[in-house]
Amino acid sequence: MVKIKPPQASKGKHIKTPEEGAASDHLTPFFCLSQIARNFCVLNCEVGEQAAFACKLRKMSEMTWADIKKAPREGLGCEKIYSIDKDLIPAGAKGKRILSFRISDIYRMIGYRDNRVFHIFWFDHKEKMCFN
- Spatial CA neighbour of 68 closest among 60, 57, 80, 79: 60
Give the pTM.
0.75
120 touches 32 (CB < 8 A):
yes
Quick one: pLDDT at residue 30? 94
Least confident of 15-19, 97-101, 107-111, 119-123: 15-19
Vertex 52 angle, CA 49 and 56, to 5°: 140
Cα 93 to its chain centre, rounded Å, is 9
Span 116-132, average pLDDT: 72
DSSP codes, 50-92: HHHHHHHHHHHTTS-HHHHHHS-TTTT-EEEE----GGGS-GG
